[in-house]
Amino acid sequence: MLRRVVFPYLGAKSDRVIQGPGVGEDAAVIDMGDRVIIAKANPITGAEARIGWLAVHINANDVAACGAKPQWFLSIVLLPEGADESLLEGIMKDIHEACLELGISLIGGHTESTPGLDKPIISGFMMGEISKDKYVTTGGAKPGDLIVMTKGAGIEGTGILATDLSDRLLPEVGREVLERAAELLKRISVVKEALTAVEVGGVHSLHTPTEGGVMNGIWEMAEAADAGVVIEESAIPRAEETRVICEALGVDSLRLLASGALLIVVDPGKAGELVSVLGESGVVASVVGEIRPPEEGRHLVKGDGERTVIEAVAQDELYRILDEYSTEDQ
């Protein structure tokens, strides 16, 4: 759909645009001579708690996935008509807190009451910069590179399931797991690991998997590089809370909303050092697979040796399971 009704309409051509819109690319890259500006725009439209905090982190992740420290944020906050001033203040405090966590300045934006809204919507715009010889794209993977993944599969999705389906999950998984799972939402930032990876060096591609989970993120990364890939399922890190909750609901954690994990495609000679430096900084990371020539295809190798093809994920497991339960409610 993007290829049909969006990509043909990109305005004037510019030599300064090193990277514009593309499937799976995390952000735009603009040539500034000795350095590049990285820019990204994402909205938060769900009624989640702490949308101001999320809007900063989701946009920061995409800028960091180009190797750049996110630095400058603009926010457009649209409020339901008649919303209390405290709603706006809560959102602004959350934006402020997330900005302080990452050293980002809020430099502008817009706030208004918008007729017809029943909940607030935030559109976030993040900018960062990095020297021109150091920025990283999603599509830079080369055959032989190793794929390092951080933190775990389905982190954001696990947190949302623990919150939204807590009544259904409580008898089976217990209160302690639910509470720890909800806390996973605080771990969706990948800025620290992205900047650490760029510092260690040898990074050919960074990508933040989101909708469609880790599997879709791996597919996007391989697609952007026109590469094959082989992934060892048993090597994919997964929080205990994710395993327990996904089992209880019959959800595939590898196809579950994945913000919080970072895919790092790295020169094989650097992978060991990277995993160890990340570990020392408190970020769990594992080598989960390897980039292969395109003709070898894209495969996930299960524990028993069975190989399945990795394809784009049409529907995130989160939406499937939330739909299922909301239908049962009716």
Contact positions vs a copy of itself (CB under 8 A): 1-2, 4-6, 8-14, 16-17, 20-21, 27-28, 30, 32, 37, 39-43, 45, 71-76, 78, 85, 88-89, 92-93, 95-96, 98-100, 102-112, 114-119, 121, 123, 125, 127, 129
Residue closer to a copy of itself, measured from CB, 9 or 226: 9
Nearer to a copy of itself, 47 or 235 (CB): 47
Instruction: Report the nearest approach of a copy of itself to the CB of residue 301 (Å).
Output: 34
Q: How far is the CB of 130 from a copy of itself (least distance, A)?
A: 13
Q: What phi and psi values does residue 15 have, to the nearest 5 degrees?
A: -65, -20
Q: Looking at beta carbons only, is 105 or 308 nearer to a copy of itself?
A: 105
238: nearest Cα among 303, 146, 310, 155: 155
Across 62-74, b (16+ Cβ under 10 Å) vs e yields bbbbbbbbbbbbb
Helix (H, G, I), strand (E, B) or coil at 272: helix
For residues 41 and 195, which CB has a smaller minimum distance to a copy of itself in the complex? Answer: 41
| Residues 24, 6: Cα–Cα separation, whole Å | 14
Residue 70 Cβ, how far from a copy of itself at the closest point, in Å?
A: 11
Question: To the nearest whole angstrom, how small is the minimum distance from the Cβ of residue 111 to a copy of itself?
Answer: 6
Taking the C-alpha atoms of residue 203 and residue 26, their distance in angstroms, rounded to an integer, is: 15
CB of 256 to a copy of itself, least distance (A): 19
Sheet holding 307-309, edge to edge: 203-207, 263-266, 146-150, 285-292, 228-232, 298-301, 307-309
Closer Cβ to a copy of itself, 86 or 282, answer by number: 86
* Residue 141: other Cβ atoms inside 10 A: 26
Name the minimum Å distance from CB 330 to a copy of itself. 16
Strands (DSSP E) found in 191-262: 203-207, 228-232
Give 16 or 142: the residue with its C-beta nearer to a copy of itself: 16
Amino acid at 87: L
